[in-house]
Amino acid sequence: MDTIQQQKAALRRELAAAERTMMPEEKRLSDSAILHHVLNTQEYRRAHTVFAFVGRADEIDTRPLLEQILADGKRLCVPLCTAPGVMECREVRDLTVLRPGAYGISEPPDNAPAVPPECVDLAIIPCAGAAADGRRLGRGGGYYDQFLAQYTGDALLLCRERLLCPSIPQETHDIRVPAVVTEQGRLE
């Protein structure tokens, strides 16, 4: 019998392969539809401070969303990895300050102001795959589970339709995100 970690690793490989089969235009349309739905949520409209991931090549491109957050006059925070499994919310006012950091993910400079999780109104969470009920499969580093364990504000999990799974193996430290946003809109 496979361990949960082995099941997760196998599922990550399967979902990464599915992501790689997407054509660039298909990804662009997918990203655009997902971000459109995020911008139309009540959570986004009422948020003053938004913590959002900076998508890498194999994830949803969140740069248009990050730009819109700034254009809407909201406070934008992005992750800065500070230790294995640990990330902090750091405020950015201009996306040009982002530089490749841990795992090739664009990060703010070390001197970007830290924002405590209790000051964040909305967290935009990535995944390798998810179930419609908000169980997420991360990349395996535990960064977002550790963040979500101390975060009490609203959260939206972004997931492409083709990366939705009927079931995600769960461990005790895995934290469900109650609202999933796909190209089709919000799932709850």
Q: Which residues of 133-150 are buried (b: 16+ CB within 10 A; e: fewer)?
A: ebbbbbbeebbbeebbee
pLDDT of residue 103: 73
Residue matched to tokens 């640990």: 86
The ranges of the chain with pLDDT < 50 are none
| pLDDT digits 0-9 by tens, 75-84 | 999 999 988 8
Answer whether 181's CB lies under 8 Å from 38's CB. yes
For the entire predicted model, the pTM comes to 0.94
| pLDDT digits 0-9 by tens, 12-46 | 999 999 999 999 999 999 999 999 999 999 999 99
Closest CA to 68 of 109, 33, 111, 39: 39
d(CA 126, CA 54): 9
